[in-house]
Structure 1
Amino acid sequence: MLSTLRAYIVGEHGDSSVALWSSISVGGVPIHSFLERQQIAYEKQTLEKIHKEVVEGAYEVISLKGYTSWAIGYSVASLARAILRDQRSIHPVSVLAKGFYGIHGGEPFLSLPAQLGRSGVLGVTNVHLTEEEEKQLQKSAKTILELQAQLGI
Protein backbone atom coordinates (compact mmCIF):
# COMPACT_ATOMS: atom_id res chain seq x y z
CA MET A 1 0.00 0.00 0.00
CA LEU A 2 1.30 3.45 -0.89
CA SER A 3 1.21 6.24 1.66
CA THR A 4 1.09 9.93 0.95
CA LEU A 5 4.24 11.77 1.94
CA ARG A 6 3.85 15.48 2.73
CA ALA A 7 7.03 17.49 3.11
CA TYR A 8 7.96 21.14 2.73
CA ILE A 9 11.29 22.62 1.79
CA VAL A 10 11.11 26.37 2.41
CA GLY A 11 13.29 29.44 2.14
CA GLU A 12 15.76 30.19 -0.60
CA HIS A 13 15.81 27.67 -3.45
CA GLY A 14 19.26 26.20 -2.94
CA ASP A 15 21.91 25.73 -0.31
CA SER A 16 20.16 27.70 2.46
CA SER A 17 16.80 26.00 1.98
CA VAL A 18 15.15 24.54 5.08
CA ALA A 19 13.56 21.11 5.41
CA LEU A 20 10.61 21.35 7.80
CA TRP A 21 11.10 17.97 9.47
CA SER A 22 8.63 18.87 12.20
CA SER A 23 5.77 19.09 9.66
CA ILE A 24 6.63 16.09 7.44
CA SER A 25 4.05 13.32 7.53
CA VAL A 26 3.64 9.87 6.02
CA GLY A 27 0.03 8.86 5.52
CA GLY A 28 -0.99 11.70 7.85
CA VAL A 29 1.37 10.53 10.63
CA PRO A 30 4.16 12.93 11.67
CA ILE A 31 7.50 11.57 10.38
CA HIS A 32 9.08 11.30 13.83
CA SER A 33 6.12 9.19 15.06
CA PHE A 34 6.20 7.12 11.86
CA LEU A 35 9.90 6.34 12.29
CA GLU A 36 9.37 5.40 15.94
CA ARG A 37 6.40 3.13 15.09
CA GLN A 38 8.46 1.41 12.39
CA GLN A 39 11.35 1.16 14.86
CA ILE A 40 13.61 3.04 12.45
CA ALA A 41 16.45 4.74 14.28
CA TYR A 42 17.43 8.19 13.11
CA GLU A 43 19.67 11.00 14.24
CA LYS A 44 19.69 14.69 13.44
CA GLN A 45 22.75 14.11 11.23
CA THR A 46 20.78 11.53 9.20
CA LEU A 47 18.01 14.04 8.53
CA GLU A 48 20.57 16.72 7.61
CA LYS A 49 22.24 14.27 5.21
CA ILE A 50 18.89 13.52 3.53
CA HIS A 51 18.22 17.25 3.09
CA LYS A 52 21.71 17.78 1.65
CA GLU A 53 21.12 14.94 -0.82
CA VAL A 54 17.83 16.53 -1.90
CA VAL A 55 19.56 19.88 -2.53
CA GLU A 56 22.49 18.27 -4.33
CA GLY A 57 20.17 16.00 -6.31
CA ALA A 58 19.24 18.90 -8.59
CA TYR A 59 22.91 19.55 -9.34
CA GLU A 60 23.38 15.86 -10.13
CA VAL A 61 20.42 15.81 -12.52
CA ILE A 62 21.73 18.93 -14.27
CA SER A 63 25.22 17.43 -14.60
CA LEU A 64 23.80 14.20 -16.06
CA LYS A 65 20.97 15.57 -18.23
CA GLY A 66 21.84 19.23 -18.58
CA TYR A 67 18.44 20.41 -17.29
CA THR A 68 15.61 19.72 -14.83
CA SER A 69 12.70 20.66 -17.06
CA TRP A 70 10.49 17.67 -16.24
CA ALA A 71 10.38 18.57 -12.55
CA ILE A 72 9.81 22.23 -13.35
CA GLY A 73 7.07 21.37 -15.85
CA TYR A 74 5.35 19.08 -13.35
CA SER A 75 5.49 21.79 -10.67
CA VAL A 76 4.09 24.46 -12.99
CA ALA A 77 1.26 22.15 -14.07
CA SER A 78 0.42 21.42 -10.42
CA LEU A 79 0.36 25.16 -9.56
CA ALA A 80 -1.73 26.00 -12.64
CA ARG A 81 -4.22 23.22 -11.79
CA ALA A 82 -4.58 24.53 -8.22
CA ILE A 83 -5.27 28.06 -9.47
CA LEU A 84 -7.53 27.23 -12.44
CA ARG A 85 -9.62 24.75 -10.43
CA ASP A 86 -9.69 27.02 -7.38
CA GLN A 87 -8.48 24.08 -5.28
CA ARG A 88 -7.29 26.22 -2.37
CA SER A 89 -4.51 23.68 -1.86
CA ILE A 90 -1.21 24.30 -0.14
CA HIS A 91 1.97 24.65 -2.21
CA PRO A 92 5.41 26.03 -1.37
CA VAL A 93 5.69 29.13 -3.58
CA SER A 94 7.76 32.29 -3.54
CA VAL A 95 6.04 35.01 -1.54
CA LEU A 96 7.05 38.20 0.24
CA ALA A 97 8.29 36.71 3.53
CA LYS A 98 8.56 39.96 5.53
CA GLY A 99 6.60 39.60 8.75
CA PHE A 100 6.40 35.81 8.68
CA TYR A 101 8.34 33.60 11.09
CA GLY A 102 10.30 36.50 12.59
CA ILE A 103 11.59 37.74 9.22
CA HIS A 104 11.99 41.52 9.35
CA GLY A 105 13.89 44.09 7.35
CA GLY A 106 14.05 44.33 3.60
CA GLU A 107 11.70 42.51 1.27
CA PRO A 108 12.91 38.94 0.84
CA PHE A 109 10.87 36.63 -1.34
CA LEU A 110 11.11 33.04 -0.09
CA SER A 111 9.34 29.78 -0.70
CA LEU A 112 6.69 29.34 2.00
CA PRO A 113 3.62 27.07 2.13
CA ALA A 114 0.79 29.14 0.70
CA GLN A 115 -2.81 28.45 -0.23
CA LEU A 116 -3.50 28.80 -3.95
CA GLY A 117 -6.86 29.45 -5.55
CA ARG A 118 -8.49 31.29 -8.42
CA SER A 119 -7.08 34.64 -7.18
CA GLY A 120 -3.53 33.26 -6.94
CA VAL A 121 -1.91 33.26 -3.50
CA LEU A 122 -4.73 33.44 -0.97
CA GLY A 123 -2.40 33.55 2.01
CA VAL A 124 0.63 32.03 3.67
CA THR A 125 -0.24 28.94 5.69
CA ASN A 126 0.75 29.06 9.32
CA VAL A 127 2.83 25.87 9.46
CA HIS A 128 4.37 25.18 12.87
CA LEU A 129 8.16 25.52 12.81
CA THR A 130 10.49 24.47 15.56
CA GLU A 131 12.75 27.15 16.98
CA GLU A 132 15.67 25.71 15.00
CA GLU A 133 13.67 25.64 11.75
CA GLU A 134 12.62 29.26 12.29
CA LYS A 135 16.26 30.31 12.83
CA GLN A 136 17.30 28.45 9.67
CA LEU A 137 14.51 30.18 7.72
CA GLN A 138 15.62 33.58 9.04
CA LYS A 139 19.17 32.73 7.93
CA SER A 140 17.84 31.82 4.49
CA ALA A 141 16.06 35.20 4.33
CA LYS A 142 19.32 36.90 5.27
CA THR A 143 21.06 35.07 2.41
CA ILE A 144 18.48 36.45 -0.06
CA LEU A 145 18.67 39.97 1.41
CA GLU A 146 22.47 39.98 1.11
CA LEU A 147 22.22 38.91 -2.52
CA GLN A 148 19.62 41.61 -3.18
CA ALA A 149 21.95 44.20 -1.64
CA GLN A 150 24.82 43.03 -3.84
CA LEU A 151 22.59 43.39 -6.89
CA GLY A 152 21.27 46.77 -5.74
CA ILE A 153 17.63 45.67 -5.57
Structure 2
Amino acid sequence: MALMRILQSQVTSLTFNLYQQQPSRTKSNFTKSMHPMKEWKSKGRGLKISVVGSGQVGAAICSCLLLRKVTQNLVIMDVKYNLAQAETLDLLHGSVLLGNPRIVACSDGSRTKDSDIVVMTAGARPSGKNRSRLDAMHGTMEIFKAAIPLLVKQSPNAIFVIVSNPVDVMTFAVQCLAKLPKHRCLTTGCHLDSLRFRYFIAERLNVPPADVQAYVIGEHGVSAVPVWSSVCIGGIQLKDVIKELACGEDPEKWWNFEEQVTTAGASVGKVKGYTNWAIAATCTDVVEALTSDQGKILCVGTDMQGLHGIEHSVVLSLPCLVKSGGISHVFELPLTSAEQEKLNASAESLIDAQCSLKF
Protein backbone atom coordinates (compact mmCIF):
# COMPACT_ATOMS: atom_id res chain seq x y z
CA MET A 1 0.00 0.00 0.00
CA ALA A 2 2.87 2.32 0.81
CA LEU A 3 4.37 1.61 -2.61
CA MET A 4 1.00 2.38 -4.29
CA ARG A 5 0.77 5.72 -2.47
CA ILE A 6 4.31 6.62 -3.59
CA LEU A 7 3.49 5.75 -7.23
CA GLN A 8 0.21 7.71 -7.12
CA SER A 9 2.08 10.70 -5.68
CA GLN A 10 4.65 10.53 -8.48
CA VAL A 11 1.93 10.29 -11.16
CA THR A 12 0.08 13.26 -9.63
CA SER A 13 3.32 15.26 -9.52
CA LEU A 14 4.14 14.38 -13.15
CA THR A 15 0.63 15.33 -14.31
CA PHE A 16 0.87 18.65 -12.45
CA ASN A 17 4.29 19.39 -13.99
CA LEU A 18 3.02 18.59 -17.49
CA TYR A 19 0.04 20.86 -16.92
CA GLN A 20 2.33 23.63 -15.77
CA GLN A 21 4.41 23.26 -18.94
CA GLN A 22 1.43 23.81 -21.26
CA PRO A 23 1.68 27.14 -23.11
CA SER A 24 -0.71 29.73 -21.70
CA ARG A 25 -2.94 31.76 -23.99
CA THR A 26 -1.67 35.31 -23.86
CA LYS A 27 -2.79 38.29 -25.89
CA SER A 28 -0.82 39.11 -29.00
CA ASN A 29 -0.65 42.17 -31.24
CA PHE A 30 -2.12 39.91 -33.94
CA THR A 31 -5.49 40.12 -32.17
CA LYS A 32 -5.69 43.76 -33.29
CA SER A 33 -6.46 42.37 -36.76
CA MET A 34 -9.32 40.24 -35.40
CA HIS A 35 -12.49 42.25 -34.94
CA PRO A 36 -15.07 40.47 -32.75
CA MET A 37 -18.78 40.41 -33.59
CA LYS A 38 -20.26 41.78 -30.35
CA GLU A 39 -23.50 39.80 -30.48
CA TRP A 40 -21.95 36.43 -31.35
CA LYS A 41 -22.47 33.52 -28.95
CA SER A 42 -21.59 29.86 -29.39
CA LYS A 43 -24.65 27.99 -30.63
CA GLY A 44 -23.54 24.37 -30.38
CA ARG A 45 -23.82 21.86 -33.19
CA GLY A 46 -26.67 22.73 -35.55
CA LEU A 47 -28.77 19.67 -36.30
CA LYS A 48 -31.65 20.80 -38.49
CA ILE A 49 -30.90 22.43 -41.84
CA SER A 50 -33.45 23.79 -44.30
CA VAL A 51 -32.48 24.37 -47.94
CA VAL A 52 -34.84 26.78 -49.69
CA GLY A 53 -34.93 26.14 -53.43
CA SER A 54 -34.57 22.71 -55.03
CA GLY A 55 -33.09 23.71 -58.37
CA GLN A 56 -29.67 22.63 -59.58
CA VAL A 57 -27.82 24.51 -56.83
CA GLY A 58 -30.20 23.59 -54.01
CA ALA A 59 -30.22 19.91 -54.97
CA ALA A 60 -26.42 19.81 -55.18
CA ILE A 61 -26.12 21.45 -51.74
CA CYS A 62 -28.52 18.89 -50.25
CA SER A 63 -26.46 16.09 -51.75
CA CYS A 64 -23.17 17.49 -50.41
CA LEU A 65 -24.59 18.11 -46.93
CA LEU A 66 -25.74 14.50 -46.69
CA LEU A 67 -22.64 12.94 -48.25
CA ARG A 68 -20.43 14.91 -45.85
CA LYS A 69 -22.83 13.90 -43.03
CA VAL A 70 -23.14 17.51 -41.91
CA THR A 71 -26.78 16.91 -40.98
CA GLN A 72 -29.16 14.05 -40.37
CA ASN A 73 -32.23 16.28 -40.39
CA LEU A 74 -32.81 18.03 -43.73
CA VAL A 75 -35.77 20.01 -45.07
CA ILE A 76 -36.09 20.82 -48.78
CA MET A 77 -38.46 23.73 -49.45
CA ASP A 78 -39.66 24.92 -52.84
CA VAL A 79 -42.84 26.61 -54.03
CA LYS A 80 -42.85 23.84 -56.64
CA TYR A 81 -43.74 21.14 -54.14
CA ASN A 82 -43.58 18.34 -56.70
CA LEU A 83 -39.94 19.22 -57.44
CA ALA A 84 -39.01 19.41 -53.75
CA GLN A 85 -40.75 16.08 -53.12
CA ALA A 86 -39.03 14.44 -56.10
CA GLU A 87 -35.59 15.55 -54.89
CA THR A 88 -36.47 14.34 -51.39
CA LEU A 89 -37.51 10.90 -52.63
CA ASP A 90 -34.46 10.63 -54.86
CA LEU A 91 -32.23 11.18 -51.82
CA LEU A 92 -34.31 8.94 -49.54
CA HIS A 93 -34.01 6.06 -51.99
CA GLY A 94 -30.29 6.04 -51.23
CA SER A 95 -30.62 7.01 -47.58
CA VAL A 96 -29.29 3.66 -46.33
CA LEU A 97 -25.90 4.74 -47.73
CA LEU A 98 -26.23 8.22 -46.19
CA GLY A 99 -26.71 7.18 -42.57
CA ASN A 100 -30.52 7.04 -42.74
CA PRO A 101 -31.12 10.82 -42.47
CA ARG A 102 -34.54 12.36 -42.00
CA ILE A 103 -35.40 14.27 -45.21
CA VAL A 104 -38.73 16.01 -45.75
CA ALA A 105 -40.17 18.37 -48.34
CA CYS A 106 -42.49 21.35 -48.05
CA SER A 107 -43.69 24.33 -50.06
CA ASP A 108 -45.11 26.58 -47.34
CA GLY A 109 -42.20 26.63 -44.87
CA SER A 110 -44.12 24.73 -42.18
CA ARG A 111 -41.54 21.96 -41.90
CA THR A 112 -38.64 24.40 -41.59
CA LYS A 113 -39.75 25.27 -38.03
CA ASP A 114 -36.89 25.47 -35.52
CA SER A 115 -34.15 25.09 -38.10
CA ASP A 116 -30.62 25.71 -36.88
CA ILE A 117 -29.43 26.82 -40.33
CA VAL A 118 -31.42 28.05 -43.34
CA VAL A 119 -29.70 28.02 -46.73
CA MET A 120 -31.30 30.31 -49.33
CA THR A 121 -30.79 29.22 -52.95
CA ALA A 122 -34.16 30.31 -54.36
CA GLY A 123 -34.18 33.21 -56.75
CA ALA A 124 -34.86 34.53 -60.24
CA ARG A 125 -32.43 33.51 -62.96
CA PRO A 126 -30.93 36.20 -65.20
CA SER A 127 -32.03 36.03 -68.82
CA GLY A 128 -30.58 37.32 -72.06
CA LYS A 129 -27.25 36.97 -73.81
CA ASN A 130 -25.27 39.29 -71.55
CA ARG A 131 -26.84 38.13 -68.32
CA SER A 132 -25.26 38.93 -64.97
CA ARG A 133 -25.94 38.26 -61.31
CA LEU A 134 -27.28 41.77 -60.82
CA ASP A 135 -29.85 41.25 -63.60
CA ALA A 136 -31.74 38.81 -61.40
CA MET A 137 -31.73 41.06 -58.35
CA HIS A 138 -35.23 42.54 -58.52
CA GLY A 139 -36.92 39.23 -59.31
CA THR A 140 -35.12 37.56 -56.42
CA MET A 141 -36.07 40.45 -54.17
CA GLU A 142 -39.76 39.76 -54.77
CA ILE A 143 -39.25 36.12 -53.84
CA PHE A 144 -37.40 37.12 -50.68
CA LYS A 145 -40.06 39.60 -49.60
CA ALA A 146 -42.56 36.75 -49.53
CA ALA A 147 -40.31 34.01 -48.12
CA ILE A 148 -37.96 35.62 -45.59
CA PRO A 149 -40.53 36.87 -43.03
CA LEU A 150 -42.15 33.42 -43.00
CA LEU A 151 -38.82 31.60 -42.58
CA VAL A 152 -37.65 33.91 -39.78
CA LYS A 153 -40.97 33.48 -37.98
CA GLN A 154 -40.56 29.71 -38.15
CA SER A 155 -36.90 29.78 -37.05
CA PRO A 156 -36.13 33.07 -35.28
CA ASN A 157 -32.77 31.84 -33.95
CA ALA A 158 -31.50 30.28 -37.16
CA ILE A 159 -28.35 31.27 -39.00
CA PHE A 160 -29.15 32.29 -42.58
CA VAL A 161 -26.66 31.45 -45.34
CA ILE A 162 -27.45 33.23 -48.60
CA VAL A 163 -26.44 31.62 -51.90
CA SER A 164 -29.04 33.31 -54.16
CA ASN A 165 -27.49 35.73 -56.63
CA PRO A 166 -26.39 38.44 -56.43
CA VAL A 167 -25.31 37.03 -53.06
CA ASP A 168 -23.89 40.20 -51.48
CA VAL A 169 -26.87 42.37 -52.29
CA MET A 170 -29.39 39.68 -51.38
CA THR A 171 -27.69 39.16 -48.01
CA PHE A 172 -28.07 42.88 -47.36
CA ALA A 173 -31.75 42.53 -48.33
CA VAL A 174 -32.26 39.65 -45.87
CA GLN A 175 -30.58 41.58 -43.07
CA CYS A 176 -32.95 44.48 -43.72
CA LEU A 177 -36.11 42.41 -44.25
CA ALA A 178 -35.58 40.15 -41.24
CA LYS A 179 -33.71 42.53 -38.93
CA LEU A 180 -31.17 39.74 -38.45
CA PRO A 181 -27.85 40.50 -36.75
CA LYS A 182 -24.98 40.46 -39.23
CA HIS A 183 -23.10 37.62 -37.50
CA ARG A 184 -26.15 35.36 -38.10
CA CYS A 185 -26.86 36.36 -41.71
CA LEU A 186 -24.01 35.76 -44.11
CA THR A 187 -23.25 34.78 -47.66
CA THR A 188 -20.83 32.26 -49.10
CA GLY A 189 -19.50 35.36 -50.86
CA CYS A 190 -15.89 35.20 -52.02
CA HIS A 191 -15.15 31.83 -50.44
CA LEU A 192 -15.69 30.25 -53.87
CA ASP A 193 -13.64 32.98 -55.60
CA SER A 194 -10.84 32.33 -53.10
CA LEU A 195 -10.97 28.58 -53.81
CA ARG A 196 -10.73 29.26 -57.54
CA PHE A 197 -7.83 31.65 -56.94
CA ARG A 198 -5.99 28.97 -54.96
CA TYR A 199 -6.70 26.39 -57.66
CA PHE A 200 -5.29 28.53 -60.48
CA ILE A 201 -2.15 29.38 -58.48
CA ALA A 202 -1.67 25.73 -57.52
CA GLU A 203 -2.01 24.61 -61.14
CA ARG A 204 0.62 27.14 -62.21
CA LEU A 205 3.07 26.09 -59.50
CA ASN A 206 2.23 22.36 -59.49
CA VAL A 207 1.43 22.26 -55.77
CA PRO A 208 -1.73 21.06 -53.91
CA PRO A 209 -4.45 23.76 -53.84
CA ALA A 210 -5.00 23.02 -50.13
CA ASP A 211 -1.45 24.25 -49.45
CA VAL A 212 -1.98 27.63 -51.10
CA GLN A 213 -3.15 30.43 -48.82
CA ALA A 214 -4.87 33.14 -50.84
CA TYR A 215 -7.96 35.32 -50.53
CA VAL A 216 -10.30 37.15 -52.85
CA ILE A 217 -12.27 39.90 -51.09
CA GLY A 218 -15.03 42.39 -51.89
CA GLU A 219 -17.89 41.51 -54.22
CA HIS A 220 -18.62 37.98 -55.35
CA GLY A 221 -18.63 39.25 -58.91
CA VAL A 222 -16.77 41.37 -61.43
CA SER A 223 -15.28 43.78 -58.89
CA ALA A 224 -13.79 41.03 -56.69
CA VAL A 225 -10.28 41.80 -55.42
CA PRO A 226 -7.60 39.06 -55.42
CA VAL A 227 -5.21 39.91 -52.58
CA TRP A 228 -1.86 39.13 -54.18
CA SER A 229 0.06 40.65 -51.28
CA SER A 230 -1.04 37.85 -48.93
CA VAL A 231 -0.58 34.83 -51.24
CA CYS A 232 1.57 32.28 -49.43
CA ILE A 233 2.79 28.78 -50.41
CA GLY A 234 4.75 26.68 -47.95
CA GLY A 235 5.51 29.70 -45.82
CA ILE A 236 6.86 31.67 -48.80
CA GLN A 237 5.16 34.95 -49.73
CA LEU A 238 4.69 34.86 -53.50
CA LYS A 239 5.39 38.59 -53.76
CA ASP A 240 8.83 38.07 -52.22
CA VAL A 241 10.05 35.76 -55.00
CA ILE A 242 8.21 37.05 -58.08
CA LYS A 243 9.01 40.51 -59.42
CA GLU A 244 6.06 42.77 -60.22
CA LEU A 245 3.52 40.15 -59.16
CA ALA A 246 0.28 40.97 -61.01
CA CYS A 247 1.35 44.59 -61.40
CA GLY A 248 3.61 46.74 -63.59
CA GLU A 249 4.98 44.81 -66.55
CA ASP A 250 4.19 41.50 -64.79
CA PRO A 251 6.61 39.45 -66.94
CA GLU A 252 5.13 36.12 -65.78
CA LYS A 253 1.58 37.23 -66.60
CA TRP A 254 0.04 36.45 -63.21
CA TRP A 255 -2.44 39.24 -63.89
CA ASN A 256 -4.40 36.86 -66.16
CA PHE A 257 -5.64 34.97 -63.12
CA GLU A 258 -7.71 37.96 -62.00
CA GLU A 259 -10.00 37.65 -65.00
CA GLN A 260 -10.08 33.87 -64.70
CA VAL A 261 -11.26 34.13 -61.09
CA THR A 262 -14.14 36.49 -61.89
CA THR A 263 -15.24 34.76 -65.13
CA ALA A 264 -14.72 31.10 -64.18
CA GLY A 265 -18.35 30.59 -63.20
CA ALA A 266 -19.69 32.27 -66.33
CA SER A 267 -17.47 30.14 -68.59
CA VAL A 268 -18.84 26.95 -67.02
CA GLY A 269 -22.40 28.31 -67.09
CA LYS A 270 -22.23 29.06 -70.80
CA VAL A 271 -21.81 25.35 -71.48
CA LYS A 272 -23.91 23.79 -68.69
CA GLY A 273 -26.49 26.55 -68.41
CA TYR A 274 -25.73 26.83 -64.70
CA THR A 275 -23.03 26.10 -62.11
CA ASN A 276 -23.76 23.94 -59.10
CA TRP A 277 -21.04 21.58 -57.85
CA ALA A 278 -18.38 24.09 -56.80
CA ILE A 279 -20.88 26.35 -55.04
CA ALA A 280 -22.48 23.30 -53.39
CA ALA A 281 -19.11 22.20 -52.00
CA THR A 282 -18.39 25.78 -50.95
CA CYS A 283 -21.71 26.19 -49.16
CA THR A 284 -21.29 22.82 -47.43
CA ASP A 285 -17.86 23.95 -46.18
CA VAL A 286 -19.46 27.08 -44.69
CA VAL A 287 -22.34 25.13 -43.11
CA GLU A 288 -19.91 22.56 -41.71
CA ALA A 289 -17.96 25.39 -40.07
CA LEU A 290 -21.23 26.63 -38.55
CA THR A 291 -21.65 23.30 -36.75
CA SER A 292 -18.18 23.42 -35.19
CA ASP A 293 -17.04 25.04 -31.95
CA GLN A 294 -13.56 25.46 -33.43
CA GLY A 295 -14.75 26.72 -36.81
CA LYS A 296 -12.78 27.77 -39.90
CA ILE A 297 -11.41 30.99 -41.37
CA LEU A 298 -13.35 31.50 -44.61
CA CYS A 299 -13.78 34.48 -46.91
CA VAL A 300 -17.51 35.04 -46.50
CA GLY A 301 -19.69 38.14 -46.62
CA THR A 302 -21.71 40.20 -44.20
CA ASP A 303 -22.07 43.89 -43.36
CA MET A 304 -18.47 45.14 -43.10
CA GLN A 305 -19.13 48.76 -42.16
CA GLY A 306 -16.26 50.17 -40.11
CA LEU A 307 -13.56 47.84 -41.49
CA HIS A 308 -10.89 48.85 -44.01
CA GLY A 309 -12.21 52.41 -43.88
CA ILE A 310 -15.67 51.40 -45.17
CA GLU A 311 -17.99 54.11 -43.88
CA HIS A 312 -21.36 52.81 -45.06
CA SER A 313 -23.35 49.66 -44.43
CA VAL A 314 -22.44 47.25 -47.22
CA VAL A 315 -22.23 43.47 -47.50
CA LEU A 316 -18.96 42.20 -48.95
CA SER A 317 -16.43 39.48 -48.20
CA LEU A 318 -13.42 39.50 -45.90
CA PRO A 319 -11.73 36.59 -44.11
CA CYS A 320 -13.96 35.61 -41.16
CA LEU A 321 -13.83 33.08 -38.37
CA VAL A 322 -17.01 31.07 -39.01
CA LYS A 323 -18.08 28.79 -36.18
CA SER A 324 -21.03 27.67 -34.11
CA GLY A 325 -23.26 30.72 -33.70
CA GLY A 326 -22.17 32.44 -36.92
CA ILE A 327 -19.29 34.81 -37.61
CA SER A 328 -17.30 35.38 -34.43
CA HIS A 329 -14.45 37.54 -35.85
CA VAL A 330 -13.50 39.40 -39.03
CA PHE A 331 -9.86 39.65 -40.10
CA GLU A 332 -8.55 42.95 -41.47
CA LEU A 333 -5.88 42.11 -44.05
CA PRO A 334 -2.82 44.34 -44.50
CA LEU A 335 -3.69 45.54 -48.01
CA THR A 336 -1.50 47.46 -50.41
CA SER A 337 -2.74 50.88 -51.49
CA ALA A 338 -3.77 49.45 -54.88
CA GLU A 339 -5.74 46.62 -53.22
CA GLN A 340 -7.41 49.10 -50.87
CA GLU A 341 -8.49 51.25 -53.83
CA LYS A 342 -9.99 48.21 -55.55
CA LEU A 343 -11.82 47.23 -52.38
CA ASN A 344 -13.22 50.76 -52.11
CA ALA A 345 -14.42 50.55 -55.71
CA SER A 346 -15.99 47.14 -55.07
CA ALA A 347 -17.79 48.52 -52.02
CA GLU A 348 -19.10 51.51 -53.99
CA SER A 349 -20.42 49.22 -56.71
CA LEU A 350 -22.28 47.12 -54.14
CA ILE A 351 -23.65 50.19 -52.35
CA ASP A 352 -25.11 51.39 -55.66
CA ALA A 353 -26.77 47.99 -56.16
CA GLN A 354 -28.12 47.97 -52.59
CA CYS A 355 -29.61 51.42 -53.08
CA SER A 356 -31.57 50.18 -56.10
CA LEU A 357 -33.37 47.51 -54.08
CA LYS A 358 -37.12 47.98 -53.76
CA PHE A 359 -38.27 47.07 -50.25
TM-score by length of structure 1 reads 0.87
- On the 8 A contact 1:86/1:116 being kept in 2, the answer is no
Question: Residues of 2 paired with 1:146 and 1:2: CA distance?
Answer: 39
- For 2:276, the equivalent position in structure 1 comes to 69
Q: Which has the larger radius of gyration?
A: 2
* SS at 1:151 equivalent: coil
Equivalent residue letter for 1:58: G
Cα deviation code 1:57-108 (max 9, x no counterpart): 1110100112221111111111122221223321011111111101112x11
Q: Structure 1 residues 87 and 53, CA, compared in 2 at 3 Å: closer, same or farther?
A: same
Question: Residues of 1 paired with 2:246 and 2:349: CA distance?
Answer: 27
Give the number of the structure with larger relative contact order, counting CA–CA contacts within 8 Å between residues 6 or more apart. 1
Q: Determine if the alignment matches structure 1 residue 137 to structure 2 residue 343.
A: yes
- For 2:309, the equivalent position in structure 1 comes to 102
Q: Structure 1 residues 121 and 73, CA, compared in 2 at 3 Å: closer, same or farther?
A: same
- For 2:299, the equivalent position in structure 1 comes to 92
Structure 1, gaps ≥5 residues long: none
- On the 8 A contact 1:26/1:34 being kept in 2, the answer is no
Question: Residues of 2 paired with 1:90 and 1:43: CA distance?
Answer: 25
Q: How is 1:27-46 mapped onto 2 (pairs within 5 angstroms)?
A: 27-35=234-242, 42-44=245-247, 46=253
Question: Residues of 2 paired with 1:43 and 1:138: CA distance?
Answer: 19
Question: Residues of 1 paired with 2:279 and 2:246: CA distance?
Answer: 31
Q: Structure 1 residues 20 and 42, CA, compared in 2 at 3 Å: closer, same or farther?
A: closer
Shift of 1:34: 4.6
Q: Determine if the alignment matches structure 1 residue 55 to structure 2 residue 262.
A: yes
* SS at 2:319 equivalent: strand
- Cα RMSD, aligned residues only: 2.0
Question: Deviating runs (4+, > 6 A) in structure 1?
Answer: none
Question: Residues of 1 paired with 2:235 and 2:321: CA distance?
Answer: 19
- On the 8 A contact 2:318/2:332 being kept in 1, the answer is no
User: How many residues are treated as equivalent by the alignment?
Assistant: 148
TM-score by length of structure 2 reads 0.39
- On the 8 A contact 1:114/1:124 being kept in 2, the answer is yes
Cα deviation code 1:108-131 (max 9, x no counterpart): 100111011111100111221111
**What is the aligned-residue identity percentage?**
30
Question: Residues of 2 paired with 1:120 and 1:114: CA distance?
Answer: 10
Shift of 1:19: 0.5
Of 295, 300, 318, the residue aligned with 1:112 is 318
- On the 8 A contact 1:14/1:55 being kept in 2, the answer is yes
Shift of 1:8: 0.7
Q: Structure 1 residues 90 and 34, CA, compared in 2 at 3 Å: closer, same or farther?
A: farther
Question: Residues of 2 paired with 1:66 and 1:81: CA distance?
Answer: 28
- For 1:6, the equivalent position in structure 2 comes to 213
- On the 8 A contact 1:82/1:88 being kept in 2, the answer is yes
Shift of 1:152: 4.5
Shift of 1:43: 4.9
